[in-house]
Each structure stands twice: as structure tokens, then as C-alpha cells.
């Protein structure tokens, strides 16, 4: 029985397989896709992904039921929180201009299994999101025609009462998804042109809403007589922030499209910044005019904007708003169908998902099999499933992706370039020089001449320090950290930071409500986990990070990504336990796919590990001059065939 237990070496190799990172090509601009998208194309894709049905539905719902007119503040805070995550995506999209978004970013920095799980969750997120928007599109159009489509379907086809299934099949939602799938399969340029048309109409309608809204605005609707500006207080504002945060989740379509951008190093950061700024401005200004046009407590949550114009006797304006809503939902559908097949393609191209999805059509230069298969699956979901029960999957999958991308930024920034990574832990403290008149000191050995040059340069000048090494100013106090591999301490600190964030947010969310902690223990645990979070942050800060590159870099690392991690974890823990239960089931299915297929077909499996054998050692003899004499000490050239004779001679003696 004991003989069947896995050896420690086998377990080590298995863990190394799970955490291996993707090896990027030397020329990251080389691709099978068509690099045809400009900054304007990417910006409108991002706007289309963010400014959808939420603008026409979410603003009214949050204003009436959660925050009141202070929904404006909720959108400002949510926009800032989204900016933290967006900056992380912008840096990665510029540095790694490959399709795959959060999946690819995690793969090149954190490890294979984490990347697969991120991709697996994003896959479900896009499928549910696209199907949910299609059903909302269908319901909105149906409401314009007094629900005639719904009544016709229920009369001639019937209804069913089955858990997780819709009350009736929504053929209109399935049909619009299939039409959108056909357009997406024609290529990136056609998809971009179609998105331009719908985005232009949507932005025009938003401009119309703002002009008419400010004309019809009445400041007394924010007065104390109507309940005041913040009737639900600070708690209502923060609860509204948690809901409004999900209005900005569409910007990752820009990162997913970076492999089709002409100049991703500049276009991706600019497009993310511009699209997020315009989307945040639209949400904030529309919520201002909406709550100023009519009293917030009289809003209709299902169609707040259109209803506000109807009640101010501008029924014709209500039709324009309805048309803008339909166009905005079309852009979200296109955004989902555009991103999903490309993430699946990236996973299949790396061997972690079924290889058939890595095929690119030679003429249209898009993954047409993935587009058709997942477009049809999305249409089936919209046809028969009750997506209201599944829509919270969108939140947890998005927040998990944001968390891992933020952690990946810290790891990557304090990581050495692959070509410069040393094979041994390097102490950055210089070795003591021999005293005058003393004999030769201990010889220093290096496995390659380039290692010698690198270390001698560090010893002599102490100017250039590799990313991940301890800063010179902290060496006298934290000398023991110099014995670790460059970047190793940072990786451990990132894990500790994430664990501290989870524990800290758990106490904040569940400490008083579910755990019923006494005040002293609640305060003590908050203090302990806050200290753990801050100490992890300080431990990262005392190490060198990569110097400025030609591509965009997020400011204030590691503070900015750490704040993003903290916020994302807090919002994840605010979700219901049923969401976590369904999420766990989906994760288990993903692990079955990974261990059944992905780990065996991963392209990183095919890469042979580089040999660590040393063919020659270079011994440095100290001298009094500034330059050290280098002598190559070759291995014994005696052939192996002479060994038996040597053994015989030794036996005779």
C-alpha cells in the first residue's frame, strides 16, 4: 500500500504543471487574426459593452429602490472602482497584445490552472450575459407593441412551469442572437462597422436625453419635500454603488480584441480610458436628469427614462428613448458575441480547450467555429432558460477575473524578464573585498560567463538591480530576504495579501450579521487582518520593480491593484450563498474538463525543460585591479572509455 503512494518528487512535478506559465512568442504582433481595428473601433466596442440596457433600466431601479437621487454619487464611486480594474486591463492589453483578456493575463503571470478557471468562468459569464440581454431586448420590444408577441406565443405554443426554465419560449430573443452571430462571423471589420452604427444611434439618443432632460429639470425634485438628495443615507449610497459597479463590466472586450488592433500598445489603453470615461459620464449625467425630471419615488423601475418623458407629456420623446434602448442592447449583444469566441480560441490555441475551436477561417480571419457554436448555445439559453435565476453568475465571474488580473499585475511588475532570470538565488549584497596584503580569498564560481558579468557588475557598481530583488536601502534591516529568488518574496506576499483581504472582508460582511461577534473580537480581528494586508503591501514595496517600459503602466503599483483586490473581494462576499453554491458546481465541472483534457493537451507540455547541466565553470580570481581576471576551467577531457583502466590500476595498488 505504501509503495503506491506518490513520491514527493511526483507531487512537486504535478504542482509545477498546475502553476506553469505561458511562454510568449518573441514577436507578439504576429497573429492569424486581421489587425484592422483602430483606437476609435476599440473605443466604440468598449462603449457598446458598457452602455446597454443598464442605462435605461438600472438608473431607475437604483434611484427608486436603493439610493434615491444619490444614485449620482453611487455611479461616481462605482466608476472610480471600475477604473482601478480597467487600468490593470490596460497595462496587460498593451504589454501582451494577445486575445484572451483575463485568461491570457493570468496565464502569463499566475499559472495554468488559475488561467483555465478564469477562462472557464468568463465563458459562462459571456453566455449568460448575452442571453440575458437578448431576453431584455425581446421584452422591451414586446412592451412597445403591448405584449402582443408574448400573448401570441403563450396562446399558440403554451407555457410550462419548470424550475430554471422560462415561462414560455422566447423565439424573438433566440432569433436576434442568431442574426447577430451571422454578422459576427463575417469578420472583425463587419462587426466593428455594425457596432459603429448602433453605438452612434445610442450616443445620439443619450445626447438627446441629456438636452431634453436638463430643459425639463426641476430642482425641487431633490428638495426635502420630496425626501431629500440621499433619503437612504450612506448605506443606501454604498448599496447602490455595489449595483452600479456592474454597469461598467463591458470594457474587457477591448482587451479581448487587442490581437486585432493595429497598434495595441497605444490603442488599448487609450480606448479603455476614453470608453470608461464616456460611459461613466453618461451614467452620471443621465441619473442626474432622470431624478430632476420627476420625483425619484415615482419612477417606473422597468422603463424609467421613457416613462419620465411620458409623464412630462413628451410621448414622442418616449419613442426615441425606446429606439435608443434597442440600439444600446444591440451593441451589448455584439460585444458579448465578439469577445466570447476569442477567449475560447485563446484557450483552445494553448491546448487547454478542445482544439476544434482554435481554427481560424482563412478569408474572414475569425474563429468561425467558436462563433457559430457558442452563438447557437447562447440562443438556446435565451430560448428556454429563466435567466433571472442565473444572472448573478455575471457578477461573481467578473469580480473573480478582476481580482486575478489585479494580482497578476503585481506579480508581473516584480518579475524578472524571462531572458534575464538567474538560475540561482542572488544576494545583492557585495562580497567583502580582500584586505591589503592578505592572501587570495575564496574563489567565486558561476555557471556561465553571463552570470559572472551580471554579478560582478552588481558587486562593483551596485547600480542595476533586477526586478524582484530587495532594494539597497532595506538590505541592512531585511538581509534575510536576499536569500530568496528574485520575485519569490513578492509572490508569497501577494498570496498573503489576498488571504488577508478575504478574511478582512469576511469580518466586515458577516461579523455583525451572521457571526454575531462581540465588539472586542470584531475590532481585534479587523485590526489583525488590516495589519496583515498592510504588511503584505509593505513587503512588496521594499522590492525593486520593472523599470518604465514603452507601453502603458498603471500608476502606484502595488497600491492601485491592492485596492482593486480589496474592493472586488468585498463585492463578491456580498453575493447570495446560492450564487456561491452554483458557482462551486460550475468550478467543479471546469476542473473535470481541465484534468480530463486541458492538462494533457497543454502546449506547455510539449516544451522540453532546458538542461541545467554545466559544461564549464568560470572561476574568478580576485586581483588588486578594478577588473577581475577570468579563467575558464574546463571539465576533465578524459574520455569515459579510460575509466575501467583507471579502476584496474587503482585495484593493483
Considering only residues 443 and 60, tell me which one the structure prediction assigns the higher pLDDT: 60
Instruction: Place 389 in a pLDDT band, splitting at 50, 70 and 90.
Output: low
For 545-564, write each residue's pLDDT tens digit: 887 677 888 988 899 999 99
Q: Is the pLDDT of residue 250 over 70?
A: yes
Give 306-352 as a DSSP string.
Answer: HHHHHHTT-HHHHHHHHHHHHHHHHHHHHHHHHHHHHHHHHHHHTTS
- Look at residue 42 in the predicted model and tell me its pLDDT: 93
Q: What is the DSSP letter of 550?
A: S
Write down the residue that cell numbers 492601485 correspond to.
560
Instruction: Place 106 in a pLDDT band, splitting at 50, 70 and 90.
Output: very high
Q: Is the pLDDT of residue 64 over 70?
A: yes
Sheet hosting strand 629-633, strand order edge to edge: 444-446, 617-621, 629-633
Closest CA to 582 of 332, 394, 437: 394
For 276-334, write each residue's pLDDT tens digit: 999 999 999 999 999 999 999 888 877 788 888 888 888 888 888 888 888 888 999 99
Can you give the pTM of this predicted structure?
0.80
**CB atoms near residue 396 (< 10 Å):** 21
Contact 202, 279 (CB under 8 A): no
Instruction: Place 424 in a pLDDT band, splitting at 50, 70 and 90.
Output: very low
Lowest mean pLDDT among 331-335, 498-502, 572-576: 572-576
Q: For residues 564 and 85, what is the distance between their CA atoms, to the nearest angstrom? A: 6
Question: Quick one: three-class SS letters along 79-145?
Answer: HHHHHHHHHHHHHHHHHCCCCCCHHHHHHCCCCHHHHHHHHHHHHHHHHHHHHHHHHHHHHHHHHHC
Contact 508, 526 (CB under 8 A): yes
- Look at residue 222 in the predicted model and tell me its pLDDT: 92
Considering only residues 3 and 611, tell me which one the structure prediction assigns the higher pLDDT: 3
**CB atoms near residue 458 (< 10 Å):** 19
Q: What mean pLDDT comes out for the span 186-195?
A: 90
**CB atoms near residue 84 (< 10 Å):** 21
Lowest mean pLDDT among 148-162, 401-415, 418-432: 418-432
* Distance linking the first and last C-alpha atoms of the chain: 48
Q: Is the pLDDT of residue 649 over 70?
A: no
Q: What mean pLDDT comes out for the span 58-69?
A: 88
The fraction of the chain above a pLDDT of 70, given in percent, is 83
Q: What is the DSSP letter of 636?
A: P
- Look at residue 399 in the predicted model and tell me its pLDDT: 87
- Look at residue 495 in the predicted model and tell me its pLDDT: 94
Q: Is the pLDDT of residue 429 over 50?
A: no
- Look at residue 396 in the predicted model and tell me its pLDDT: 83
Cell readout for 229 is 438628495
Q: For residues 410 and 559, what is the distance between their CA atoms, to the nearest angstrom? A: 9
Instruction: Place 450 in a pLDDT band, splitting at 50, 70 and 90.
Output: very low
Mean pLDDT of the chain: 82
- Look at residue 388 in the predicted model and tell me its pLDDT: 67
Q: Is the pLDDT of residue 575 over 50?
A: yes
Amino acid at each position: 500500500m505504501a509503495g503506491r503512494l506518490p513520491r514527493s518528487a511526483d507531487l512537486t512535478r504535478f504542482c509545477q504543471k498546475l502553476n506553469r506559465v505561458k511562454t510568449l512568442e518573441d514577436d507578439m504582433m504576429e497573429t492569424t487574426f486581421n489587425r484592422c481595428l483602430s483606437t476609435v473601433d476599440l473605443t466604440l466596442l468598449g462603449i457598446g459593452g458598457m452602455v446597454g440596457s443598464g442605462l435605461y433600466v438600472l438608473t431607475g431601479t437604483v434611484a427608486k429602490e436603493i439610493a434615491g437621487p444619490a444614485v449620482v454619487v453611487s455611479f461616481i464611486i462605482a466608476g472610480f472602482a471600475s477604473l482601478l480594474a480597467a487600468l490593470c486591463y490596460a497595462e496587460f492589453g498593451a504589454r501582451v497584445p494577445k486575445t484572451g483578456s483575463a485568461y491570457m493575463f493570468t496565464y502569463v503571470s499566475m499559472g495554468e490552472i488559475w488561467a483555465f478557471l478564469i477562462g472557464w468562468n468568463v465563458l459562462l459569464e459571456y453566455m449568460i450575459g448575452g442571453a440575458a440581454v437578448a431576453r431584455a431586448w425581446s421584452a422591451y420590444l414586446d412592451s412597445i407593441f403591448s405584449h402582443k408577441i408574448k400573448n401570441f406565443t403563450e396562446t399558440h405554443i403554451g407555457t410550462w412551469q419548470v424550475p430554471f426554465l422560462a415561462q414560455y419560449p422566447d423565439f424573438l430573443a433566440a432569433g436576434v442572437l442568431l442574426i447577430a452571430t451571422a454578422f459576427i462571423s463575417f469578420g472583425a471589420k463587419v462587426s466593428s462597422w455594425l457596432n459603429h452604427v448602433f453605438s452612434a444611434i445610442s450616443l445620439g439618443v443619450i445626447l438627446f436625453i441629456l438636452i431634453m432632460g436638463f430643459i425639463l429639470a426641476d430642482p425641487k425634485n431633490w428638495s426635502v419635500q420630496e425626501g431629500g438628495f440621499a433619503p437612504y443615507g450612506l448605506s443606501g449610497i454604498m448599496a447602490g454603488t455595489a449595483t452600479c459597479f456592474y454597469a461598467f463590466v463591458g470594457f474587457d472586450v477591448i482587451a479581448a480584441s487587442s490581437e486585432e488592433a493595429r497598434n495595441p500598445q497605444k490603442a488599448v489603453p487609450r480606448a479603455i480610458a476614453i470608453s470608461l470615461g464616456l460611459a461613466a459620464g453618461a451614467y452620471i449625467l443621465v441619473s442626474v436628469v432622470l431624478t430632476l425630471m420627476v420625483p425619484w419615488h415615482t419612477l417606473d423601475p422597468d422603463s424609467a427614462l421613457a416613462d419620465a418623458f411620458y409623464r412630462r407629456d413628451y410621448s414622442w420623446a418616449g419613442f426615441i428613448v425606446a429606439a435608443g434602448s434597442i440600439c444600446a442592447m444591440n451593441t451589448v449583444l455584439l460585444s458579448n458575441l465578439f469577445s466570447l469566441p476569442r477567449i475560447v480560441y485563446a484557450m483552445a490555441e494553448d491546448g487547454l480547450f478542445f482544439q476544434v475551436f482554435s481554427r481560424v477561417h482563412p478569408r474572414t480571419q475569425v474563429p468561425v467555429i467558436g462563433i457559430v457554436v457558442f452563438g447557437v448555445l447562447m440562443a438556446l439559453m435565451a430560448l428556454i432558460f429563466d435567466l433571472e435565476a442565473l444572472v448573478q453568475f455575471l457578477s461573481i465571474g467578473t469580480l473573480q477575473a478582476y481580482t486575478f488580473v489585479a494580482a497578476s499585475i503585481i506579480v508581473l511588475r516584480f518579475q524578472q524578464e524571462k531572458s534575464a532570470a538567474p538560475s540561482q538565488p542572488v544576494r545583492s549584497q557585495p562580497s567583502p573585498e580582500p584586505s591589503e596584503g592578505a592572501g587570495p580569498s575564496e574563489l567565486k564560481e558561476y555557471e556561465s560567463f553571463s552570470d559572472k558579468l551580471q554579478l560582478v557588475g552588481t558587486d562593483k557598481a551596485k547600480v542595476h538591480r533586477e526586478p524582484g530583488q530587495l532594494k539597497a536601502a532595506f538590505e541592512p534591516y531585511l538581509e534575510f530576504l536576499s536569500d530568496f529568488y528574485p520575485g519569490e518574496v513578492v509572490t508569497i506576499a501577494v498570496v498573503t495579501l489576498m488571504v488577508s483581504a478575504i478574511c478582512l472582508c469576511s469580518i466586515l460582511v458577516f461579523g455583525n450579521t451572521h457571526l454575531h461577534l462581540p465588539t472586542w473580537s470584531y475590532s481585534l480581528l479587523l485590526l489583525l487582518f488590516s495589519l496583515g494586508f498592510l504588511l503584505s503591501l509593505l513587503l512588496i514595496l521594499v522590492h525593486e520593480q520593472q523599470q518604465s517600459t514603452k507601453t502603458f503602466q498603471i500608476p502606484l503599483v502595488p497600491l492601485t491593484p491592492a485596492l482593486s483586490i480589496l474592493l472586488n473581494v468585498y463585492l463578491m462576499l456580498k453575493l447570495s450563498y446560492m450564487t456561491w453554491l452554483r458557482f462551486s458546481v460550475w468550478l467543479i465541472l471546469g476542473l473535470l474538463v481541465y484534468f480530463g483534457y486541458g492538462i494533457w493537451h497543454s502546449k506547455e507540455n510539449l516544451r522540453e525543460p532546458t538542461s541545467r547541466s554545466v559544461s564549464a565553470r568560470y572561476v574568478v580570481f580576485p586581483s588588486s585591479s578594478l577588473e577581475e581576471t577570468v579563467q575558464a576551467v574546463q571539465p576533465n577531457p578524459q574520455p569515459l572509455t579510460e575509466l575501467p583502466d583507471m579502476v584496474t590500476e587503482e585495484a593493483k595498488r
